[in-house]
Chain A
Amino acid sequence: MKLQRSGFLAGIALTAAIALAACGSDNTSEPAAGGNASGAAASIACASGSLTAQGSTAQANAMSQWIKDYQGQCADAKIDYQGTGSGAGVQAIIAGTADFAGSDSSLKDDEQTQANAKCGAGSTALNIPMVVGPIAVVYNLQGVDGLQLDAPTLAKIFAGKITKWNDPAIASQNSGASLPDQPIGTVHRSDESGTTDNFTKYLSKAAASDWTFGNAKAWKAPGGTGAKGSDGVANAVKSTPGSLAYVEKSFMDNSGLQGAKLKNGAGEYTELTPDSAGKGIAGAKVTGTGNNLKLDIDYNATTPGAWPAVLTTYEIVCDKGSSKAALLKSFFTYTSSAAGQASLTDLGYAPLPAELLTKVQAAVASIS
């Protein structure tokens, strides 16, 4: 009798499992629903096949949007991008397990050598800047709008040398604002991230004397609060009055946090907009050779209206000899098209500036 009962239970479980297995979908049949008419309207030169890719989480949102739009038009293509982290992406391209990788920093010399070797004779692993993610400085302080900060002050705050909101260094830049006698709670990423790397790079270049921790993907300064992922950081700032942090612009937009204005190389306090972010990257120098577009961003650029703290993420891909070259080329042609870039602005990214975009398109065209 008891045996029957347990058998009965197992039967129910089994039936439930089968019933469940019968009706599930991956949302694949959905065409590009909601979001962007411009992307859907642009005609895409489709290619077929499947791509597996992984890497930077900073561009994961951009990728999922692009993949959705691309697959919506090209039914024969299947692209899978896993946000595993830049390091994992680079490792995957060196090991040959990914068709392309997303990375927040361009390949280092030894990585470039290894990747070239894996790509095959005469082929280079290209670093193609594709997504520009401005880094916002967000804060949670009642009654203070449009906080203005320059890089040395920001560096001192994050280094723990300025601890109160009403510190003279902050007050002198924000005349008229009623700054409270409240401690500043800085929030940083507890996991390693390209955002931290780029933000600390900005601090170390723009405020060299005040930021002594160098730049790295791990947060090296003492104190503050750690939170996992940009979302964790945004959440922590939102729930903690008196806190200050850095996140990608999309997270600032999604969470509805206030963003501070930063002083750029031209000496003006700039608000973060897609436009100012684009100007921030326009001054970047290309250090790679040929179509290998490694960028060196000038954080002290004197371009008027430029947002100084920007992050560029690259796609790393072999330029020749890939069996999937047609699909890679087709996909990147779409992502580097004006429509592809425009579809990202809602997501908190900035479009590539025109001059750089031409170079990127040329690099994509060289894939064969």
Chain B
Amino acid sequence: MSLLNQTDADVVMTPQNIRTKKLPVAVNLLVAVVALGIGFALTYGASIGTWVLAVVIALILYLVGIAVVAGRIEGRRAARNRMWQALIYAACVLAIIPLASVVWTLISKGASRLDANFFNTSMNNISARDPNGGAYHAIIGTLEQVGIAALLAIPLGVLGAIYLVEYGKGKFANTVRFFVDVMTGIPSIVAGLFVLSFWVLIVSPWFNDGEPRFSGFAASLALTVLMLPTIVRSTEEMLRLVPGPLREGAYALGVPQWKTITKVVLPTALPGIVTGVMLAIARAAGETAPVLLVAGGAAAINFDPFNGNQQSLSLFVYQQAGDASRYAPARAWTAALTLVAIVLILTIAAKMLARRNKLTR
């Protein structure tokens, strides 16, 4: 449209004329510098805010400035294009700031207690004025709870996915698939409350003289509820990627379907399944709320997940964050650093594995 507008009668169609004029980079930079200058001058001149406000004002000025300048040189549409581009870049920078701040805080505050004592001792016999004390019991708790949850969730999840891919047909399978999706959105605190009302308050009294009892196993159950849908979904996706001819070949050899699934389909999809499982485990390891509700937390080492309160790393962070001792914040941050390290290592390993997976989409 605008091209049509531009075609004046006496314009000769040379390459210079056909190509639209570009805004020189230098002009772009100049606008940015001027905007920043005015922003800071305005903010500090009138003393109405700090550098944050200055940057925000500068961004707005830049957007206006680039619209005007580019509008003159390149035309209205190109100017709008540049404005949106600047906004999109700004969004990116904005998102990096908190990430960087979290990482920096974790490392700078978490490093102070990164010693052998922290990983070797529990909080037993540590009173408010003791500077030492560790997260050993919490790490044990996390490993046991997540381990048991994985033992429960992996077979269930993989079998569920096998049902959806290999056997499931019709309304029931669609319902299951739909609710697996819905289940991924269940808040972890609700899963915790479910296990609280079902296992801790109703089932556990049978084993404990009629008294409800917290346990690491209860936490595992809650984590299972949270892990199950993610494992089903990722496994389902992987199984669907297994080429049909592999199955057909097995059937043609007279191999029954269950054997085809266990001996041909599953091994082929295994790396992808492992990736999904590891992501699910990583997420479960970071859950605090369900552990708080059903495992209760403890100060001493408890190796028995079926009996008595157990700590977990994320709950340890939460409890130390709310502890009176002036040594608690250091413990909280170091535990947070440990937790993030575990979760990130699992996540990164899972993604690496996914990248090597040949069954790509």
A and B in contact, CB less than 8 Å: yes
Residue of B nearest to A20 (CB): B139
With contact pairs A6-B271, A20-B140, A251-B324 given, residues A27 and B129 touching in the complex (Cβ less than 8 Å):
no
- Residues of A contacting B32 in the complex (Cβ-Cβ under 8 angstroms): none
| B: contact size bracket | 35 or more
- B112 interface residue (CB < 8 Å to A): no
CB distance from A346 to the nearest CB of B (A): 7
Which B residues from 269 to 292 make CB contacts under 8 A with A?
270-271, 274
Cβ–Cβ contact B128 & A232, under 8 A = no
**Bound form: Cα–Cα A25–B127 in Å:** 16
Q: At the interface, yes or no: A121 with Cβ under 8 Å from chain B?
A: no
Q: Is the interface of A mostly helix, strand, loop or mixed?
A: helix
Q: Given contacts A3-B267, A3-B270, A27-B122, is CB(A228)–CB(B353) below 8 Å?
A: no
Q: Considering only CB atoms, which chain A residue lies closest to B329 in the complex?
A: A235
Given A6-B271, A26-B121, A95-B211; A80-B324 close (CB under 8 Å): no
A34 & B124 in contact (Cβ 8 Å cutoff):
no
Q: For residue A345, which residues in chain B have a CB less than 8 angstroms away from its CB?
A: none
Instruction: Tell me if B317 is interfacial: C-beta within 8 Å of chain A.
Output: no
Q: A109 at the A/B interface (Cβ < 8 Å)?
A: no
Q: Which residue of B lies closest to A65 (CB)?
A: B127
Instruction: Decide if A21 is an interface residue (CB 8 Å cutoff).
Output: yes
A80–B296 Cα distance when bound, in Å, is: 15
**Smallest CB separation, B128 vs chain A (Å):** 5
Instruction: Select the residue from B119, B125, B209 with max chain A CB neighbours within 10 A.
Output: B125
B129, A346: Cβ atoms under 8 Å?
yes
Q: Give the dominant DSSP class at B's interface.
A: loop
Which residues of chain B come closer than 8 Å to A232, judged between CB atoms? 322
Q: Does A172 contact B (CB under 8 A)?
A: no
Interface check A182, CB cutoff 8 A: no
Check if B122 sits within 8 Å of A68, measured CB to CB. Answer: no
Which A residues between 217 and 242 are near B, CB-CB below 8 angstroms? Answer: 228-232, 234
- Asked whether A24 and B300 contact (CB < 8 A) given A2-B270, A6-B274, A17-B143, the answer is no
Complex Cα gap A229–B320 (Å): 12
Is A45 in the interface zone, CB < 8 Å from B? no
Q: Which listed residue, A30, A61, A97, touches B128 by the CB 8 Å rule?
A: A61
Would B322 and A254 count as touching, CB distance under 8 A? no
Determine if B115 is an interface residue (Cβ-Cβ < 8 Å).
no
Residues of B within 8 A of A20 (CB): 119, 136, 139-140, 143
Chain A residues with Cβ below 8 Å from B143 are 17, 20
- Any chain B CB within 8 A of the CB of A330? no
| CA gap between A251 and B211 in the complex, in Å | 34
Chain A, residues 290-333, CB within 8 Å of chain B (1/0): the string is: 00000000000000000000000000000000000000000000
| A336 interface residue per 8 A CB criterion | no
Question: How far, in angstroms, from A65 to B129 measured CA to CA in the complex?
Answer: 10
CB distance B120 to A26 under 8 Å? no
Tell me which residues across on chain A come within 8 A of B325, comparing CB atoms: 254
Q: Are B121 and A25 in touch, CB under 8 angstroms?
A: yes
A139 to B356, CA, bound (A): 59
Establish whether residues B301 and A6, one from each chain, have CB atoms under 8 Å apart when the complex forms.
Answer: no
CA separation between A231 and B133, bound complex, in Å? 18
Asked whether, in the complex, the Cβ of B322 is within 8 Å of the Cβ of A27, the reply is no
Tell whether A71 pairs with B271 under 8 Å between CB atoms, given A5-B353, A229-B322, A254-B324: no
**Contact yes or no, A34 B130, CB < 8 A:** yes
B233 at the interface (CB under 8 A from A): no
Knowing A3-B270, A229-B322, the reply to whether A24 touches B128 (Cβ < 8 A) is no
Among the listed B119, B122, B125, which residue makes an inter-chain contact with A64, where contact means beta carbons less than 8 Å apart? Answer: B125
> Which of B121, B139, B267, B298 contacts A27 (CB under 8 A)?
B121
Residues of A near B301 (CB, < 8 A) are 24-26
Contact pattern, A 2-13, Cβ under 8 Å of B = 1, otherwise 0 = 110110010000
Which chain A residue shows the least CB distance to B273?
A6
Pair A82/B140 contact, Cβ less than 8 Å: no
A180 lies within 8 A of chain B by Cβ: no
The distance from the CB of A248 to the nearest CB of chain B, in whole angstroms, is 9
Whether B322 contacts A231 by the Cβ 8 Å rule is yes
Q: List 6 A-B contacts (CB under 8 A).
A: A2-B356, A17-B143, A27-B124, A27-B133, A28-B124, A30-B125
Q: A27-B122, A346-B129, A347-B128 are in contact. List 14 more A-B contacts (CB 8 A).
A: A2-B356, A3-B270, A6-B274, A23-B120, A24-B137, A25-B120, A26-B124, A33-B130, A71-B125, A95-B210, A231-B322, A231-B323, A250-B324, A254-B326
| Chain B residues within CB distance 8 Å of chain A | 119-122, 124-130, 133, 136-137, 139-140, 143, 209-211, 267, 270-271, 274, 298, 300-301, 303, 309, 322-326, 328, 349, 353, 356-357
- Nearest first, the 7 A-B pairs at minimum CB distance are A24-B136, A231-B324, A2-B271, A26-B124, A27-B125, A64-B127, A6-B274
